[in-house]
């Protein structure tokens, strides 16, 4: 079934599969390091780490609500986290936000570090800082565009769902304690 995928990792009981095109794409980009410098390898590793972090963000929130997380797949520019479909649209919207939340939790400290300290004297480290701050914020923005299959398609439902949930809770309270 997974002949097109290679299992590269299993962390927190979640197997991570990498699609062959991701492997090929990564190797080609890393090979370009011959021309562009060793930092290209770190750029590629940083992007893969970011994609992985995003999917683990979905996995974290899915597990928090008690849903089964099956696997994570990595493609060249995106990942897929397969989890049991939540039976509550509020919980689903939170799980959808999980990916961007995980990215943001890396973006914030790295961006603060860059604002205070600036780039380092080490090109290899700078490649990672660049990915975790600038590339990261672009990826987050892109992912939140409301266009399938991006997370933005479902993420923005959270606000109306939350408002409705609050209204329902208030109604319930009123019903329980009649004046
Ligand atoms: Zn996502």
* Residue-range domain boundaries for the chain: 5-176
- Asked if the model's pLDDT at residue 7 lies above 90, the reply is no
- pLDDT computed for residue 37 by the predictor: 83
pLDDT of amino acid 25: 87
Band (177; pLDDT cuts 50, 70, 90): low
Q: How far is the CA of 119 from the centre of ligand 1 (A)?
A: 29
Distance CA 128, CA 81 (A): 24
Asked if residue 133 lies in contact with residue 47, where contact means CB atoms within 8 angstroms, the answer is no
> How close is the Cα of 165 to the center of ligand 1, in Å?
24
pLDDT at 128 over 70: yes
What's the pLDDT band for 30 if we cut at 50, 70, 90? confident
Looking at every residue in the chain, the average pLDDT score rounds to 90
Measured in angstroms, how far is the CA atom of residue 151 from the centroid of ligand 1? 5
Q: How far apart are CA 117 and CA 171, in angstroms?
A: 51
In this predicted structure, what is the pLDDT of residue 179? 53
CA dist 154 and 53 (Å) reads 19
Distance 118 CA to ligand 1 centre (A): 30
Per-residue model confidence (pLDDT) at position 94: 94
Listed residue (18, 43, 28, 72) closest to 132, CA to CA: 43
Ranges of H-type helices in 65-157? 89-117, 123-130, 136-143, 152-155
Residue 145's pLDDT is 94
pLDDT of residue 34: 81
Is a pLDDT exceeding 80 seen at residue 83?
yes
**Residue-level pLDDT at 46:** 94
Between the CA of 164 and the centroid of ligand 1 the distance, in Å, is 24
* Protein residues placing their CB within 5 Å of the ion ligand 1: 99, 151
pLDDT reading at 113 higher than 80: yes
């Amino acid at each position: 079934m997974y002949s097109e995928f290679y299992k590269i990792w299993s962390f927190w009981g979640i197997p991570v599969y990498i699609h062959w095109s991701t492997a090929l794409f990564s190797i080609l980009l890393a090979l370009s390091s011959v021309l562009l410098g060793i930092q290209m390898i770190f750029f590629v590793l940083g992007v893969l780490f970011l994609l992985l972090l995003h999917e683990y963000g979905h996995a974290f929130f899915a597990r928090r609500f008690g849903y089964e997380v099956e696997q994570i797949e990595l493609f060249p520019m995106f990942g897929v986290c397969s989890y049991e479909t939540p039976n509550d649209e509020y919980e689903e919207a939170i799980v959808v936000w999980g990916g961007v939340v995980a990215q943001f939790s890396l973006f914030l400290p790295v961006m603060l570090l860059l604002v205070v300290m600036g780039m380092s004297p080490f090109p290899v480290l700078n490649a990672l800082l660049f990915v975790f701050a600038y590339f990261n914020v672009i990826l987050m923005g892109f992912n939140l565009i409301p266009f399938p299959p991006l997370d933005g398609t479902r993420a923005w439902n959270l606000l109306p769902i939350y408002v409705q949930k609050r209204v329902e809770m208030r109604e319930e309270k009123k019903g329980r304690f009649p004046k």
